[in-house]
Chain A
Amino acid sequence: MTEEEQKRIFDTWLGKYRPLLFKVVRAYAFNLADQEDLFQDISLQVWRSIPNFRKESQVSTWLYRVSLNTALRRNRTESKYKDNQYPFEHVEHLLEEREEPVDERLAWLYGEIAKLNEVDRSLTLLLLDGFSYKEMAEVLGISESNIGVKIHRIKKYLTTQSQKFEKHGV
């Protein structure tokens, strides 16, 4: 694959699947500086992954796999430095969250996703984006039956939490 082809694919993917990448960024990084860094890390890994993409899966599945792996690996590395995590608060941020939230229920949903452990968080993103058990197993490297059990638990948890949310509001 020539570098020109790789660049063309990269531009197409980042243009078309940017919302997917932003979902992972928002679910795994909780301040703007981290979100920017994670977005750049993911972009870099997406670039590197292009020659390995064999078209055996859909592009969205592939991108989820790459971006979730990057986010998980980064979280594990970053957790070592958690105490020094916010020395750059004065830096101007490139990304700004929309002033008017799209939907306050969406913010609540992200909040609940953030409370889950790393694997369940990944699974929830895939579930909400309509991936099949087989695709989820492919992305996360766990068995389909295990996924079934986890999904049942996640759905139950989110539904219970939503009742509290609806009762008390935000």
Chain B
Amino acid sequence: MEFDEMKKIWDSQNSEHLYVINEDALHNRIRTKKKRSQQLVSLAEVIIMISLLVAGSIILLANLVRGEHIIFKYFAAIVFYLGAAYLWFKRSERKKGEGRFENTMMGDLEHALSNSNHQVMLSGTFLYKVFPVISIGALIGEWVTSGFSWMIPAIVVFFIVMYFASRWEHGCYVSKLRELESLKAMLVE
């Protein structure tokens, strides 16, 4: 066989599909991914809300018990409570929207994608918006109450480590989202 003939055989693939999609297996995998993404996003929301409420309460109680009445700390506590309330609102919106997906393979896939997008939005918001505010707020708070102490560099190191951990976590959620998108690409002609 000459090489040109091999090339003709090779080119024949362009008009034929090498693979067919096993739709039952794909649907099962999508259902599993949808369930996991639902559990994951729900757990993440609850953990972040509890963390914000606990952090706000600690700041508020410490301010009240010590009788310091520092305005900045009251403000910080309110910001944490508002953050928790906003998250509760977004969670309710997400839950209300769950009914709009059809009970089909594409519906389940869109649902899993929507959950995954929500997860990426949550982790992205935390990483790029909430995290810097908390870090700067904690540093200013420490500075205002105690001046420069060993706590300042300790807080800086803590937040640097937390930043890289959060970035890694965000990357994991983005990868999961891309996996779902590649499943969709496999399915949609």
Contact = CB atoms under 8 A, between A and B. Distances in A.
A47 B183 CA distance: 13
A43 B24 contact: no
Contact of B181 (A47, A92, A155): A47
Contact of B18 (A93, A98, A130): A98
Interface stretch (A19-27, A63-71, A81-89, A136-144): A19-27
B6 A109 contact: yes
A95 B9 contact: no
Interface string B161-189: 00000000000000100110111011011
Contacts of A109: 6, 9-10
Nearest to B26: A94
A50 to B, nearest CB: 11
Interface in A112-167: 128-130, 155, 158-159, 162-163, 165-166
A52 B73 CA distance: 44
A59 interface: no
B10 A43 contact: no
B20 to A, nearest CB: 5
A15 interface: yes
Interface of B: 1-3, 6-7, 9-14, 16-22, 24-26, 28-29, 175, 178-179, 181-183, 185-186, 188-189
A170 interface: no
Contacts, number: 102
Interface in A33-65: 35, 39-40, 43-44, 47
Nearest to B117: A3
Contacts of A10: 181, 185
B37 to A, nearest CB: 16
Interface residues of A, number: 38
A96 B185 contact: no
B188 A162 contact: no
Contacts of A128: 6-7, 10-11
A5 interface: no
A94 B18 contact: no
B13 A44 contact: no
Contacts of B22: 92-96
A11 interface: yes
A86 B168 CA distance: 29
A43 B26 CA distance: 17
A14 B185 contact: yes
B21 A44 contact: no
A97 B29 CA distance: 19
Nearest to A113: B10
Nearest to A13: B185
Contact of A44 (B2, B29, B179): B179
Nearest to A99: B20
Contacts of B6: 105, 109, 128, 158, 162
A98 B19 contact: yes
A102 interface: yes
